[in-house]
Chains A and B, each alone.
Chain A
Amino acid sequence: MSTQKVQIVEKILDANDQLANQILKKLNDAEIFAINIMASPGSGKTSVILKTIEKLKGEMNIAVIEGDTAAVTIDADKVTALGMPAVQINTGGQCHLDAVLMEQGVDALDLSDIDLLIVENVGNLICPASFKIGTHSNVVVASVPEGDDKPYKYTNIYRGIDVLLLNKTDLLPYIDFRLDYFKDGIHALNQNLKFFEVSCKTGEGIEDWIDWLREKVKAQKNHR
């Protein structure tokens, strides 16, 4: 029997992308600004989130979706302790959040009362870059101890993001970290990237990041 060729040309992650677009629409309808925070384990994602909540909790309502590979609620508990709603998503070992998991998280929240939604993706610099989850901005938290060569090795994630926070800058005097080399790497494939140097420990640089967020949340309200 002879075979016949059927031309398809369909994006393999199209179903995920479509669902991500629906989620984005849902968030827009509720006038929520949402960010997807990605990083390697230990870079300080949770510290950045907690610091952000501390700074903004008097002026807006923030919710957090925590993506974790196992049913560990340490991070979600810290957010709840600050009086903000947190939803824990257990990816069951999966290395990233995808739109299906994100939708579960979004549906578990009361969207009518949220201004800023922070999604903490699974600690991983490779897989989360491939999956849209329907947020407005992709943010990476890098940290000084990880080394200055990471943008050269993990080009995928640095290419697709809007904001980069370089955390733990208080350690710069003790570590061979060439800031210029790092900056060249992050801006190489992503000239429009917003870059913030922060230290969650000393609080240095955090205000600039908070100002950026404040602007974005405000713009999302005026947008409609």
Chain B
Amino acid sequence: MHELAVTESILKIAEKHAVQSQAKKVTDVHIVIGRLSSIVNDSIQFYWDIISKNTLCENAKLHFERVPAKVLCLNCSFEFELPGELTPCPKCQSMRLKVIKGEEFWLDSIEIER
């Protein structure tokens, strides 16, 4: 539900780096999102098309790389991917877990024309 605020941040960061690189136009924006970040791709794309009008990023294509959620079992050190809901360690059934991947939420790179 907060995708507008998030999209504004993405645009701000992309514009800043585009200006720094003396870009005439941004063609592609690459975003990395961990599965544990509650962000919906389609909503970002929807807002992006509206708010990027008349900026260097107008018509730039958004690419999303989804990183799966991975946890470490603190009992037996087994690493496994979280299927969706929180589940016990499939090896030892322990519920003492630590998230090691899946919280990513960053702007990885942009592609520009000079």
Query: Residues on A close to B: CB < 8 A?
Result: 1-16, 94-96, 98, 124, 126-127, 129-131, 151-153, 155-156, 159, 184-185, 187-189, 191
Q: Which 4 A-B pairs have the closest CB atoms?
A: A95-B1, A188-B95, A152-B86, A3-B111
Overall SS of chain A's interface: mixed
Contact indicator A12/B6 (Cβ below 8 Å)? yes
- Beyond A12-B105, A153-B85, is A189–B12 a contact (Cβ under 8 Å)? no
Cβ of B106 within 8 Å of any chain A Cβ, yes or no, is yes
Q: How far is the CA of A188 from the CA of B113 in the complex (A)?
A: 48
Cβ of B17 within 8 Å of any chain A Cβ, yes or no, is yes
Can you list 8 contacts pairing A with B, beta carbon distance less than 8 Å? A3-B113, A9-B109, A10-B106, A12-B13, A152-B86, A156-B38, A159-B99, A188-B96
Q: How far is the CA of A130 from the CA of B33 in the complex (A)?
A: 13
Contact indicator A130/B106 (Cβ below 8 Å)? no
Contact indicator A7/B13 (Cβ below 8 Å)? no
- Beyond A8-B108, A151-B86, is A130–B113 a contact (Cβ under 8 Å)? no
- Beyond A127-B38, A130-B37, is A3–B6 a contact (Cβ under 8 Å)? no
Query: Residues on B close to A: CB < 8 A?
Result: 1-2, 5-6, 9-10, 12-14, 17-18, 21, 23, 27-28, 31, 36-38, 71, 74, 82, 85-86, 88, 95-99, 105-114
Knowing that A6-B21, A127-B1 touch, tell me 17 more A-B residue pairs with CB under 8 angstroms. A5-B109, A6-B109, A8-B106, A9-B107, A13-B105, A14-B9, A16-B9, A96-B2, A124-B1, A126-B1, A126-B38, A129-B38, A155-B86, A187-B96, A188-B86, A189-B98, A189-B99
Contact indicator A8/B112 (Cβ below 8 Å)? no
- Beyond A3-B28, A130-B2, A152-B85, is A12–B112 a contact (Cβ under 8 Å)? no
Query: What residues of chain A lie closer than 8 Å to B13, measured between beta carbons?
Result: 8, 10, 12, 14
- Beyond A3-B112, A6-B17, A130-B37, is A188–B97 a contact (Cβ under 8 Å)? yes
Identify which of B9, B36, B86 contacts A185 (C-beta below 8 A): B86
Q: How far is the CA of A5 from the CA of B18 in the complex (A)?
A: 10
Contact indicator B111/A184 (Cβ below 8 Å)? no
Q: How far is the CA of A184 from the CA of B75 in the complex (A)?
A: 14
Q: How far is the CA of A7 from the CA of B74 in the complex (A)?
A: 35
Contact indicator A4/B38 (Cβ below 8 Å)? no
Among B2, B10, B13, B21, residue most surrounded by chain A Cβ atoms (within 10 Å): B2
Query: What residues of chain B lie closer than 8 Å to A155, measured between beta carbons?
Result: 36, 82, 85-86
Identify which of B31, B85, B105, B112 contacts A6 (C-beta below 8 A): B112
Q: How far is the CA of A151 from the CA of B85 in the complex (A)?
A: 9
Q: How far is the CA of A204 from the CA of B30 in the complex (A)?
A: 51
Query: What residues of chain B lie closer than 8 Å to A95, measured between beta carbons?
Result: 1-2
Closest to B71 in A: A189
